[in-house]
Structure 1
Amino acid sequence: MALVPDCPPDLRVYDSSYNRGYTSPREQSEHRSRLLRKIHDSYRKALERLNARARPGMAARFLHGGGGALCLGLLDPVSNIVANTLVSRGEPGDLVHVPEDKLGDLERRSLDGLVAFLTRFFPYLTDCHAVRFLLLAGADLLAAVRAVASDLGMTRLGSSPGPAVEEALVMALRCAALAARHPDPDRLVRDWLAISGRLDDTVRLLADVRRRSPESSLDRLPNLLDGLPPPAHQDLWRRLTASRPPPPRRSVPHQTTTALNGTLQDALHGFYLEAIARLPAGELRSRLHRSLLVAGHCYGPLDPVSNIIINTIWHDAAFPPAVKLEVDVIGTMILHRTENCSLYGLVSFLCTRHRHLTDFDQAIYCLLQADGDLLLADRRLDDDDDAAAGLDRAFLAAATAAYHPNPDAQAKLLRRLCPCDERISSILQGSTGQLSSQDVQCLARLLCPEAACSEQPLRRFPHPWYLSSQTMMCKKINAALSAYAAMLSGEPMYELHTICGVNKYVSGPVGTDAKCYRTHVNFLATPKGTQFPAGTTPLLFFAEVCNDDDDDRAGMPQPFVCRVWVPLPCAGRVRCLYCDHMGIRIVHPVGEDFHGRKLEFEKMVCGEDPCDDDFDPAVDQPYYTNTKIIDHSRVTTERLNGRVEEDRLYNDPLEDSDGYGSDMTLMSDEYDSDLDSMADERHV
């Protein structure tokens, strides 16, 4: 991201600029060496504690007890090594010292495991930044977790509905054990779950070892853990964070822009899902989808969801469509582009209005501290800034950065609404449910009183075949939704509101044709029944469906559908390897199996290919790595003004004779080209 040149001097408009944000190879090597020295120092201290009064064979257990004495766990590094040594199940031997080569191997494996934990737990976090956070935390894994969460503005981590953060911790711990080549990863996970439920007892036992207690104390930890079930996951995060010191504030400043953006983009995506759910289905399908995707940005005088709604309705009234186009699918890539534009609009507003904000990351961090709410962030900054710029110029900077089609008009509207008309606020905030058609009409008159009262006749959409893929997806989702409703005794039937997220690149690419077998979908559906009044807010669902046209063929997997909830802003999210790779923000379920949730990450950290059982790491290059996921997702996450496939639905056919322009580079073409070259990449 960089300031746009040639702007008026009182405007500070930011635009994206591709920057991987990685430190230099020399710095990465230096940081890794320093972290290995810290890990080495932890092993030295652990050996001193273990060997001082240990019975013969304890050093051998340290090395050969299944090879599991890693600097990996949820306590401090030395305690992790001691605990992993005590619970290992190796047979005693005669070794009384630790050879340097074997100790060095343990240290390198420990580092690999620590990095794998952080990059599995935090989307958008690069390997080199994970090493820097671990170095800052002195190889203390949980301290590093808290430092990353603080630095990325994840103020609500652990607050989402359901045990999402606990599930993520467990899966990250298993990935860490696999990356570190632990001989029994499941055992390591079980031991640390048990330890987390008995932290006080474990810390006391490890303190006895520190004080060089009698030899009998060395058997007490495995005896404490054996035969007892692990504690419930739902308290895991609270117990662990309460046991660790707070992280240093802004520990690695201005080095994690991609990850900072990702945290805010996740929050903004949640706002858009809520706004789409509040718009009435008829108006959304017939015309509001266009204004939502072209001008429905989340900056304005109200909360983010209300801002999206008023910007959408105003633009539809002030600049009505010329073509009649009804859709059931909100284009995924164009929606993400709109969300990205909103992010840059928010930052440009704050940096124009508050001149002491001189850095893009500073503005992002202020927004994260306000849960993505511009109004709240602006008020907080007002307390420290007596020379704030005018709202009219700040809104103009926002509209310009967001590539609004009519930035001057939008800036004037938003300035006029400060403070917001009480009639508008009462309609938007009078009910948390879905707006009615009458509400939309009333808002349109209040926002744009000069608009013509009578609707102009619309031309027919000239390219209906562009909607064939949407028709097929709607057919799949309606069938899956009917099957889901039939399985739930006493549950109401549902009516599809809209499909609001599609990733067709799941379970692949496979073979020379780079085939992907499944699609992940988010959609909103309204429950039908007498117990649900009119205006009931649609519910959000996740579906995994087959990519073949005929899902009913024998042997084809049945679609999977379940309810999901939008994560709270800055609270983290459930990860999927395939959706992360495409940069598509699908809301995935907690505690449910889907392709891309668990096994695929585990194969990736082991250097294997999740989709190719014949993958040979000696010959082939893995298609999925943490670095490749982050780099590839930038096609979606950093796009502001480039064309995407769904643009062809909104081009004026009188201005664009071929339907979508001869110079257009479709995002789907970029993906398909990338997948087509996959086979060559594997054999480089």
Structure 2
Amino acid sequence: MASGSTCSGSVPLGRRGLVSCAHSLDCRADDAPPLPPDLEKVVYELIVGFYDQAFDRLPCERIPGLLDLLATGGCGTCLGLLDPVSNIILNTLALLPQGAAAAASTAPPATKKSKRLVRNDWHEIANRSCQSLLAFLMVYFGCLEKEQAARYLYWADANLSLAVMLIQHDLYVEGEEAVLDPESDRTQAALEWAATMAGHPSPGVLTQLMSSRLKEDDFHLLEKLLFSAADGPLTVADVGAINRILRMMMSPPCVATISRKGPILHVRKNLDAVWSTTPSTTEDTATALCWDGKPISSLQCGLSDKLQRCLGRADGLEQYLKKTPCSVDACDYLQTLKMRLHGMIHNFCIKALKLLPTPSGSLMCGFLMAGHCYGSMDPVSNIIVNSIWYNFLGGPLPASEGSKIEQYNDILDPLSLLRTQVHSLKGLMELATFAGPQFSTEACALELLCGTKCDIVDMLQSSLKMIKKNHFHEAAKAAGHPLPLQLGELHRLLVVFPEQRSVLLSFMTKARTDGTVLRLDDMTLHIRRMWSRYSKVRVGCYEQAPDLFPESRRLVSSMRSQYEEGRSWFRSKIEQVLKDYTTQHFWEPQYKLDIICGVEEINQSCPPSGKMCYRVNFTATSDLQLQRTLFFAEFLFSGGPRPETCCPLPYEYAAVATLACLPQGKSCIQMTPNTSRTISPMTVPATWMTC
């Protein structure tokens, strides 16, 4: 646990963050024993040793060009999901030309292997490998600084899969979610991005290699060659066998071409056969089928035992920390937890939008201003109920002004949703203090929220104790909610009258089960009746907004005109991009633009002369699906050579690396998970902490 804190309670928190905190000067005790100051350099030295081992095992003198593949051009990178030496060997042999092993010299091997390379000669490829491993961790998690990534790689001995498990442990990610899935879009995108950073000549080959599956016989043969005699040299015949297996498993056994005239299946009978082809049109699409079998990443066994040994070693780091808890502002680990929670809350908001019917402008205003995720239910349900309740109470605007915003339901300002998330976290941290005195510090509150995924309502004190102090009122005040007293009263009622809460939850359960949207009118009516019947808050909710001065009125009118103009342009552009997507994917539903969730303007130094690029998240509906589908799109201001991108996004990727907060710190746009060029590491801009 960070900073030697002693949080405990009904949730088994354990000790987390020691690897990160022990190497941070802000968390270490002044009299702590010294640790390596430059961990990136230490990791680099480890990797140099791995190249020595790989060189000793590969028959570089017998196979022409093998040494060049190993040492130059980024081919033999140690990036991958096996142990570093196996990654180096497989990545090198994956690019070995076909027949190279067969053409190897038939002369007997030398009695002593010639050391044509010395340690300094591995500098370029070892440095590329080190940077690619760091890049993978930063992209995959999206909430790590480079220094933190180096700390975990150091403790994992540069084993990428083990480093991921260490980080998942510190981020309270458990169960199936903690297992790195080599076939997931998230993993493949991070691998391709990291391979590109390493200068690999074919990043797609490396990504495909690490996500491939092996037939039973091939799996055991590779296991025997790579691990049964891990210190023994590989023969030319061994290299030929490995090369054959790699070529087979990375070549799909068949490909299906789908056209408007019907499906056509082309099957390859053996490795040397030529694919049959048919004339292609823009209306055709090809789908490659993969071999069934064991993932190649499962060749690395015993990771759980290695993780336990790492954690056991890390327990000794607690003596290096200060006796007082770390400061949230100074501790890298706590900042990482904070960013992970922001990602979680972003995911909750997206899921809430998915369940809501197309919101009016006033409901969207309520969602952005008051749709906080703390309360008496789970986070997604809290967002929905808080938004509907705030909307039916009415806003501070006069009725004449409020009616003018009904059509303003698109989010063009990328900071709008971010503000809601930041304020929600403040309320959650305040609410966590009522779960027990041990969670009164910010560090313990963050750890509790990560461990429970922000769902702590069952840990709060009983409703009888809330008579003296309303927990939800205190949380709303800390979050800066526009109506803290009233929101506290709402959730007090839902705790005191659980049958009312059950009715609201049943609306959301039915929508999720049926794959539909919420019955908004019924939910609004139920909340209104409950509020009118039981609420003890009888005072007016709002102070009426004063009349604007003429200059202010003109300014507001100008801002509305700019919004309407921008909204009209973006909707027109997105509708065209979505239409093109539907034409290219004619077998999918016919999508229709619903609401825009965020717009990011990049290349801001360029004038709007056709070079300005926009990245957009939006939702779309179809005749076949009542629930929304989340999309990502990227396009230029007025077209150009850069291709436009449009694709649907899985909702489960909203809180991970695909949630990219761009370096300017001005947006929170969710990127496509299967296109690595659109994924950038999440940074920690000041706006995350000061909004």
Q: Taking structure 2 as the reference length, what is the TM-score of the superposition? A: 0.68
Instruction: Spell out, residue by residue over 1:600-620, the C-alpha distance to the aligned partner (whole angstroms, 9 max, x if none).
Output: 66xxxxxxxxxxxxxxxxxxx
Give, in angstroms, the shift of residue 636 of structure 1: 3.8
For residue 95 of structure 1, report the CA deviation from its aligned partner: 4.2
For residues 469-490 of structure 1, what are the alpha-carbon distances to aligned partners after superposition, in whole Å with 9 as ceiling and x for unaligned? 4323432454356544674769
Cα 1:133/1:278, change in 2 over 3 Å: same
Q: CA deviation at 1:295?
A: 2.2
Query: In the superposition, relative to structure 1, how do residues 144 and 196 fare at CA in structure 2: closer, same or farther (>3 Å)?
Result: farther
1:401 aligns with 2:478: yes
Aligned to 2:668: 585
- The verdict on how the C-alpha distance between 1:151 and 1:233 changes in structure 2, with shifts beyond 3 A counting, is farther
Alignment of 1:113 onto 2:197:
no
1:73 to 68, 80, 91: 80
The answer to whether the 8 Å contact 1:158/1:164 transfers is no
What's the counterpart of residue 612 of structure 2? 517
- Would the alpha carbon gap of residues 518 and 434 (structure 1) be closer, same or farther in structure 2, given more than 3 Å must change? farther
Question: What is the aligned counterpart of 1:543 among 606, 617, 633?
Answer: 633
Question: 1:262 corresponds to which residue?
Answer: 339
Q: Secondary structure at the match of 2:614?
A: strand
Supply the distance in 1 between the matched residues of 2:443 and 2:90 (Cα, whole angstroms): 40
Aligned to 1:125: 144
Tell me the equivalent position of 2:282: none
CA contact (8 A) 2:140 2:657 kept: no
Task: Write the deviation string for residues 12-42 of structure 1: whole angstroms up to 9, x where unpaired.
Answer: xxxxxxxx99946997843223323433443
Q: Which residue of 1 aligns with 2:676?
A: 598
Superposed, 1:377-396 pairs within 5 Å as 378=459, 392-396=469-473
Q: Which amino acid aligns with 1:364?
A: L
2:589 is the counterpart of 1:501: no
Aligned counterpart for 1:475 among listed residues 551, 568, 584 = 568
With over 3 angstroms needed to count, the CA separation of the structure-2 counterparts of 1:355 and 1:455, relative to structure 1, is: closer
Q: Give the 3-state SS of the residue equivalent to 2:598 in structure 1.
A: strand
- How many residues align? The count is 562
Q: Which residue of 2 aligns with 1:652?
A: none
Please name the residue that 1:648 is paired with.
none
Secondary structure of 1:444's counterpart equals helix
8 Å CA contact retained: 2:414, 2:669: no
Instruction: Please say which of residues 470-479 and 136-145 is displaced more in the overlay.
Output: 470-479
Q: Kindly provide the amino acid, as one letter, of the partner of residue 382 in structure 2.
A: N
Matched, 1:356 2:413: no
Q: Any gaps of 5 or more consecutive residues in structure 2? A: 1-19, 27-33, 106-112, 253-288, 319-330, 512-516
Q: Distance in 2 between matches of 1:37 and 1:66?
A: 16
Decide which of 38, 45, 53 is 2:46's aligned counterpart.
38
Secondary structure (helix, strand or coil) at the match of 1:292 reads helix
Structure 2 residue 432 is matched with structure 1 residue 346: no
1:459, distance to aligned residue in structure 2 (A)? 9.4
Is 2:410 the counterpart of 1:329?
yes
Q: Does 1:630 align with 2:683?
A: yes
CA distance in 1, matches of 2:609, 2:81: 40
Note the 1:222-621 alignment, pairs <5 A: 222-230=243-251, 240=297, 243-244=300-301, 245-246=303-304, 247-248=307-308, 255-281=332-358, 284-318=359-393, 320-323=395-398, 324=402, 325-326=405-406, 327-330=408-411, 331-357=413-439, 359-375=441-457, 378=459, 392-430=469-507, 431-432=510-511, 433-449=517-533, 462=553, 463-480=556-573, 483=576, 484=578, 487=583, 497-503=594-600, 505-506=601-602, 508-509=603-604, 511=606, 517-527=612-622, 536-548=626-638, 561-567=646-652, 572-574=656-658, 579=662, 582=665, 584-591=667-674, 597-599=675-677
SS at match of 2:690: coil
| 1:206 paired to 2:226 | yes
The 1:267–1:391 alpha-carbon spacing in structure 2 relative to 1, beyond 3 Å, is: farther
Instruction: Report the CA distance shift for 1:207/1:334 in structure 2 as closer, same or farther (over 3 A).
Output: closer
Query: Any conservation in 1 of the 2:152–2:163 contact (CA below 8 Å)?
Result: yes
Report if aligned partners of 1:46, 1:82 keep a CA contact under 8 Å in 2. Answer: yes
- Structure 1 segment 80-95 matched on structure 2, within 5 A: 80-84=87-91, 86=93, 89=96, 95=114
Q: CA deviation at 1:399?
A: 1.5
SS state at 2:439 partner: coil
Structure 1 unaligned runs (5+)? 1-19, 592-596, 602-624, 641-684
Residues 635 and 150 of structure 1: CA distance in aligned 2, closer, same or farther (over 3 Å) = same
Q: Distance in 2 between matches of 1:493 and 1:315?
A: 34
Would the alpha carbon gap of residues 235 and 32 (structure 1) be closer, same or farther in structure 2, given more than 3 Å must change?
farther
Partner secondary structure for residue 418 of structure 1: helix
Cα distance, 1:316 vs. partner?
3.9
Partner of 2:261: none
CA distance in 1, matches of 2:364, 2:157: 50
CA–CA separation in structure 1 for the residues paired with 2:295 and 2:445? 29
Measured against aligned partners, the alpha-carbon deviations of 1:139-191 in whole angstroms (never above 9, x if no partner) come to 1011112222332234477699xx99633333333333343344554554454
Q: 1:670 is matched with which residue?
A: none
The residue correspondences of 1:179-218 to structure 2 (distance < 5 A) are: 179-182=197-200, 185-194=203-212, 199-207=219-227, 209-210=229-230, 212=232, 215=235, 216-218=237-239
CA deviation string 1:54-107 (max 9, x = no partner): 584579944664524433332112323344455564998994343131034443
**What is the rounded CA distance, in whole Å, between the counterparts of 1:575 and 1:292 in structure 2?**
20
Q: Counterparts of 2:299 and 2:467 in 1: how far apart (Å)?
A: 44
Deviation of residue 542 (structure 1)? 3.2
RMSD across aligned C-alpha pairs, in angstroms? Answer: 4.6
Q: Which residue of 2 aligns with 1:150?
A: 169
CA distance in 2, matches of 1:195, 1:222: 15
Give the whole-Å Cα distance in 2 for the aligned partners of 1:585 and 1:419.
37
Query: How far, CA to CA, are the matches of 1:493 and 1:183 in structure 2?
Result: 38
Letter in 2 for 1:207: F
Residue 620 of structure 1 aligns with which residue?
Answer: none
Alpha carbons of structure 1 residues 237 and 405: separation in structure 2 relative to 1, 3 Å: farther
Quickly say closer, same or farther: Cα 1:638–1:289, change in 2 above 3 A: same
**Residue of structure 1 in register with 2:269 after alignment:** none
- Structure 2 distance, partners of 1:340, 1:168, is 25
Aligned mates of 1:214, 1:277 — CA distance in 2: 54
2:79·2:160 contact (CA, 8 Å) conserved in 1? yes
- C-alpha change, 1:117 and 1:424, in structure 2 (3 Å) is closer
Q: Is the 8 A contact 1:295 1:312 kept in 2?
A: yes
Q: Structure 2 CA distance, aligned partners of 1:181 and 1:544? A: 25
Identity %: 23
Q: CA deviation at 1:130?
A: 0.9
Deviation, 1:369, is: 3.4
Q: Deviations over 1:574-622 (max 9, x none)?
A: 366x85654533333444xxxxx43466xxxxxxxxxxxxxxxxxxxxx
Q: Map Cα deviations across residues 286-327 of structure 1 (whole Å, 9 max, x no partner).
A: 423333222221111112122122222333455643231331
Residue type of the partner of 1:349?
A: L
Matches for 1:92-103 after TM superposition, within 5 Å: 95-103=114-122
1: CA distance between counterparts of 2:52 and 2:144?
Answer: 30
TM-score (norm 1): 0.68
SS of the aligned residue for 2:373 comes to coil
Query: Could you say if the C-alpha distance between residues 419 and 494 of structure 1 is closer, same or farther in structure 2, counting changes exceeding 3 Å?
Result: farther
The 3 A distance-change label for structure 1 pair 354 and 177 is same
Could you tell me how far 1:437 is from its partner in structure 2?
2.5
- Equivalents in 1 of 2:56, 2:71: separation in Å? 21
CA contact (8 A) 1:434 1:537 kept: no
Asked whether the equivalents of residues 374 and 382 of structure 2 are also in contact (C-alpha less than 8 Å), the reply is: yes
Relative to structure 1, is the Cα distance of residues 213 and 373 closer, same or farther in structure 2, using a 3 angstrom cutoff? Answer: same
User: Per the alignment, do residues 357 and 97 of structure 1 end up closer, same or farther by CA in structure 2, a change over 3 Å counting?
Assistant: farther
* 1:226 aligned counterpart, secondary structure: helix
User: 2:242 aligned with 1:221, yes or no?
Assistant: yes
Q: Is the 8 A contact 1:136 1:144 kept in 2?
A: yes
Change (3 A) 1:179 1:438: closer
